[in-house]
Structure 1
Amino acid sequence: MKLTRKESRIRRHRRIRGKVKGSPERPRMAVFRSNQHIYVQVIDDTQHHTLAAASTIDPEVRGTISSGANCEASVAVGKLIAQRSLSKGISKVVFDRGGNLYHGRIKALADAAREAGLEF
């Protein structure tokens, strides 16, 4: 039985979530990538609470990008989530790539967040 790309991503995501947990000291930075947008949340898994969020549909990002589905948009979202996290006192996170492969838009977002001051 051959798995579709979506089923493979979901399997990878479940495997990752078994190992990656967010805590109040080091919350989880979860990334969701759709065909048209990219979304990222900083989550405390012990309280099941989103601490910060950013995406390509935010007004701050939407006006500066031409498309929500490219590396340029991911860099903008990475900088924004780092800025919002740092303003709430969060400097260290655990990266959850959501089962996506670590290249392209996911890598661009992670690199931008690291450059803006987040540690992971």
Structure 2
Amino acid sequence: MAVIAKKRLESRIARHARVRKTVNGTPERPRLAVRRTLSNMIAQIIDDVSHKSLVQVSTSSKDFQAKFGELTKTEQSKKLGNLIADEAKAKGISAVVFDRGGYIYHGRVQALAEGAREGGLQF
């Protein structure tokens, strides 16, 4: 691993650890965690008290790619935010705490958050 890439990863992990000290999901207001890879986004709603994942969606799933595979990654992230908001509302979740995972609130992470807000999630 190149030195710059290693430092970037270590910095993101440190930012995430710093944020996770204060951001915790409760049964009333679970945590919306974001994971970003070079090609995909994963969004997960987690109850940290019971250590359970309540809802999870990903851009790598076959049904998501069948519907939105031709869109850009940022547009896919916005659709993913709408999708997680719909699934969360189906499970009775209306308010969450947003955990950006140490990523900068910009680009795909911001698009996912805006899509979730448009879908009806409050955070």
User: Is the TM value for this pair above 0.5?
Assistant: yes
Q: Which of 16, 27, 38 in structure 2 is aligned with 1:13?
A: 16
Runs of 4+ in 1 over 6 A off after TM superposition: none
* 1:24 has 2:27 as partner: yes
Greater percentage in helix? 2
Q: SS at the partner of 1:64?
A: helix
Q: Give unmatched runs, 5+ long, in structure 2.
A: none
1:58 corresponds to: 61
Whole-angstrom CA distance in 2 between matches of 1:6 and 1:69: 24
Q: TM-score, normalised by structure 1?
A: 0.93
- Write the letter of the residue equivalent to 2:10: E
Identity among equivalent pairs (%):
48
Q: TM-score, normalised by structure 2?
A: 0.91
Instruction: Summarize deviations over 1:75-118 as a string: whole Å, max 9, x none.
Output: 11101100000000000000000000000000000000000100
1:92 corresponds to: 95
Answer yes or no: is the 8 Å Cα contact 1:26–1:93 preserved in 2.
yes
